[in-house]
Amino acid sequence: MTRQLHLNAFLMGTGHHEASWRLPQSDPTATTSVAHFQHLAQVAERGTFDSLFLADGPVMMGNVAQRPSGVIEPLTLLTALALVTERVGLIATASTSYNSPYNLARRFSGLDHVSNGRAGWNIVTTAGIEAARNFGVDEQPLHADRYARAAEFLDVTLKLWDSWEDDVFVGDKAAGVWGDNTKIHLADHRGKYFSVAGALNSPRSPQAYPLLVQAGSSDDGKDFAARYAEAVFTAQQTLGDAQAFYGDLKSRTHREGRDPNGIKILPGIVPILGSTESEAREREAELGEHIVHEHGQLMLSRLLRVPIDQLDLDSQLPDDLPPESEIEDFKSRYSLIVELGRREHLTVRQLIGRLGGGRGHFTFAGTPEQVADIIELWFTNGAADGFNIMPPLLPSGLELFVEHVVPILRDRGLFRREYTGVTLRDHYGLARPSNQYVRELSDSVAI
């Protein structure tokens, strides 16, 4: 079978561009509109996207003066989207730093049941002191400690999702036996971070457990992804950087004893579309004109750990920025932004403009054919298994991509014309996981 692209629609309020909410056609209150997201989900499904994705964090994001900041908790919102779609996958971000395995396992299992097997979990460790203080933690945990906690969190969660064997149900009305107790397995976990005694109070879901997604690109993040992830959302600015990341992560996955084809790598792309290249450039310029550079200056100051008075808008980045080793949050994004500014000799004003489209993700303005060319180039040259599509303006950006780019990708034989599977794992070409307790029993019998 010819290798096929995987496309995920990354949905963010009014769009990924910082100034999207300011355009005349934009609804500034869309971030809390269920109808808005239901429409986007249906557009993504019409375009036979593998999945859609909602980012999240347990903290107020940014400054409400800068852009729409209020959001709906993603698992709640995805349940509403599941009811108006049939095939498109539904991926939500949830933190391993500020959740408990039992409750999160229940919530994702519930979404997988409600959606008939379309749930996915974007696993994050959550950086930032602001989030920590929302949970009574005075200092954010160290980067390595967050990933150690995440690994134990996931191990426990997998035990919980496997705590019911698939054939528990007996349904013997005459004997009064509903299920087989021998096919229920207690988590019985005591570790450094968690203690979980019982079984999950929910049957094994249609996919067994959600598609496991990861988005950190630090060394700790890549090691975590190589061990657990089935899809990875990442950010690279150039083909060469994307090829290096792709090769590195596939190699790490192989060293973990996994099939590298079992992990799909999807860089983000912010496509600014126009019927001509000049029209696309005009749309990009219009968005850029609505950026409030003082807001971007403040955000850049926080990310780079530099006093704002050292970030002159019309000068390049200071020479004495801290090394990545001193950064405890957003390590990979920090390095990406610094390298972008240094490589292209950008002023702070220009750098803010470049980041305004997608916070460090690759932004490209052009015709549908040019966007399809970029996607094909990266896909066929060892840089991507697919893409995280990040429309700069919603809903129009997603509608334009589905109407004009998807048909080109289909005509080139790169993307499906219709769904051939039912579950999210089907779309990503992944088998339903076997139950770890059944595997252990089979191994012991074989011995």
Cα separation, 91 vs 83, whole angstroms: 15
Mean pLDDT along residues 66-90: 93
Amino acid identity, residue 146?
Answer: R
Q: Which helix (H) or strand (E) holds 7?
A: strand 6-10
pLDDT at 385 over 80: yes
Structure confidence at residue 291 (pLDDT): 79
Q: Is the pLDDT of residue 278 over 90?
A: yes
The token pair at 54 is 């909602």
Q: Where are the alpha helices (DSSP H) in 330-417?
A: 331-343, 348-355, 368-380, 396-400, 406-411
45 or 440, which is more confident: 45
Lowest mean pLDDT among 166-170, 314-318, 390-394: 314-318
Query: Do the beta carbons of residue 117 and residue 109 sit within 8 Å?
Result: no
Q: Which residue has the higher pLDDT, 106 or 305?
A: 106
* Higher-pLDDT residue of 5, 321: 5
Distance, CA of 33 to chain centre? 21
CA distance 288 to 350: 10
Tens digit of each residue's pLDDT (9 = 90 or more) over 49-58: 999 999 998 8
> CA 333 to CA 209: how far, in whole Å?
29
CA-CA distance, 207 to 316, in Å (whole number)? 49
Instruction: Please return the burial class of 417, using the count of CB atoms within 10 Å of its CB with bins 0-12, 13-18 and 19+.
Output: exposed
- The whole-chain average pLDDT of the chain stands at 91
Of 304, 233, 229, which Cα lies nearest the Cα of 12? Answer: 233
Instruction: Give the pLDDT score at 223.
Output: 95
Lowest mean pLDDT among 13-27, 245-259, 338-352, 381-395: 338-352
User: Does residue 7 contact residue 387 with C-beta atoms inside 8 Å?
Assistant: yes
Q: Which residues contact 227 (CB under 8 A, 6 or more apart)?
A: 151, 256, 258
Is there a contact between 50 and 424 (Cβ–Cβ < 8 Å)? yes
Please, which pLDDT band fits residue 328 given cuts at 50, 70 and 90?
A: low
Q: So what's the pLDDT on residue 244?
A: 96
Q: Where are the domains of the chain?
A: 6-278+361-446, 292-355
Predicted local confidence at residue 341, as pLDDT = 80
Q: In the prediction, which pLDDT does 62 show? A: 66
- The first and second tokens of residue 269, run together, are 């792309």
- Which amino acid appears at position 391 of this protein? P
Question: Over 90: is that where the pLDDT of 245 sits?
Answer: yes
Instruction: State residue 329's pLDDT score.
Output: 62
Residue 219 in contact with residue 251, Cβ under 8 Å?
Answer: no
Other CB atoms within a 10 A radius of the CB of residue 295 amount to 18
Rg, C-alpha atoms of the chain: 22
pTM over 0.75: yes
- Round to whole Å and give the CA distance between 245 and 262: 16
173 Cβ contact list (under 8 Å, min separation 6):
none
Neighbouring C-beta atoms of residue 308, cutoff 10 Å = 12
Query: Is residue 69 very low, low, confident or very high in pLDDT (cuts 50, 70, 90)?
Result: confident
Of residues 22 and 161, more confidently modeled: 161
Report how far Cα 314 is from the mean position of its chain's Cα atoms.
34
324, pLDDT greater than 80: no
Given a cut of 80, whether residue 242 has pLDDT beyond it is yes
Residue 353 has pLDDT above 80, yes or no: no
d(CA 199, CA 163): 5
Dist. CA 397–CA 359, nearest whole Å: 17
Please state whether beta strands 195-196 and 211-214 pair in parallel, antiparallel, or not at all (unpaired): unpaired
Judge contact between 127 and 330, C-beta under 8 A.
Answer: yes
Residue 410 has pLDDT above 90, yes or no: yes
User: CA-to-CA distance for 447 and 422, rounded, in angstroms?
Assistant: 37
Q: What's the pLDDT score for residue 40?
A: 98
Lowest mean pLDDT among 13-17, 123-127, 297-301, 415-419: 297-301
Query: What Cα–Cα distance (Å) separates residue 323 from each residue in 217, 329, 394?
Result: 16, 13, 36
- The CA distance from 277 to 240, in Å, is 24
Residue 99's pLDDT is what?
94
pLDDT on residue 292: 78
Residue 400 — very low, low, confident or very high, per pLDDT cuts 50/70/90? Answer: very high
Contacts of 180 (CB under 8 A, 6+ apart): 167, 168, 170
Contact 197, 188 (CB under 8 A): yes
Q: How many residues does the chain have?
A: 447
CATH number belonging to domain 6-278+361-446: 3.20.20.30
Report the pLDDT value the prediction gives residue 63, as an integer from 0 to 100: 73
Q: Are 116 and 423 in contact (CB under 8 A)?
A: yes
